Amino acid sequence: MPVDGVPPGRMPRHVAVIMDGNGRWAKRRALPRAFGHRKGVAALKGAVRFCSDHGIPVLTVYAFSTENWQRPSTEVKFLMELMKKTFTSEIDELHQEGVRIRFIGERNAFSSDITEVWNNAESLTKDNDNVLLNIAFNYGGRRELVLASRALAAKAAAGVIEPGDIDEDSLSAELLTTPCEDPDLLIRTAGQCRVSNFLLWQLAYTEIHVTDVLWPDFSDEDFKAAIVDFSQRDRKFGRVLEM
């Protein structure tokens, strides 16, 4: 179903979201931060359904960064349990709705019970093709580039490739988002105008939409506003558009 006000051919095919503002949402209501995170999960489910309803095939969300380990241990523990509970209790519904789940990030920092939940979710939904939901968990853009560089260096050392053959395509192929195309649109909630170490390579030509709405309050109408804003941009990719 098209979005009102968006001309044909102007819909993004890959949307990335920095889901910011859970803590502030809770603080404004004099609630523990955990309440904001729970409400944030509901907002994520709404965003996935929006993509499904409007033909957006890829949604990539920033759920837990490599820097988030610096938060209080009680909050980190809660986020781990919330993720585990969500993708245990919600996975059947997501599967029925044709959502493919993929976790991008380093997994070696987590206990086996958490990685088992991830593996099960990915295995169950691997053949779904309605919406691909990339969940960036224990993810950092700089770390991703380091890992990609190491992979190419190892191939060069093994004689699989020549160092001089390394180019943008070969580095892109080593990124955690592969084989997805780069995001067309990045949405950042809660008013912050920075990318916070998210998809640093992939966002080179991505259109950015910043909204003051806190993530737990992010609604279909807010998503529509971002899509309409995106549809009005002239995406030049370094070129000069013909007049």
Whether 20 is catalytic: yes
Active-site residue among 20, 138, 184, 222? 20
Whether 119 is catalytic: no
Angstrom distance (rounded) from CA 85 to CA 94:
14
C-beta separation of 205 from 237 below 8 A: yes
Preceding omega of 179 cis (within 30 degrees of 0):
yes
Angstrom distance (rounded) from CA 175 to CA 36:
31
Angstrom distance (rounded) from CA 107 to CA 79:
15
Tell me whether residue 52 is exposed, middle or buried, using C-beta atoms within 10 angstroms of its C-beta: 0 to 12, 13 to 18, 19 or more. Answer: middle
Angstrom distance (rounded) from CA 79 to CA 209:
26
Angstrom distance (rounded) from CA 144 to CA 167:
16
Active-site residue among 4, 22, 68, 222? 68
Angstrom distance (rounded) from CA 186 to CA 195:
9
Catalytic residues: 20, 68
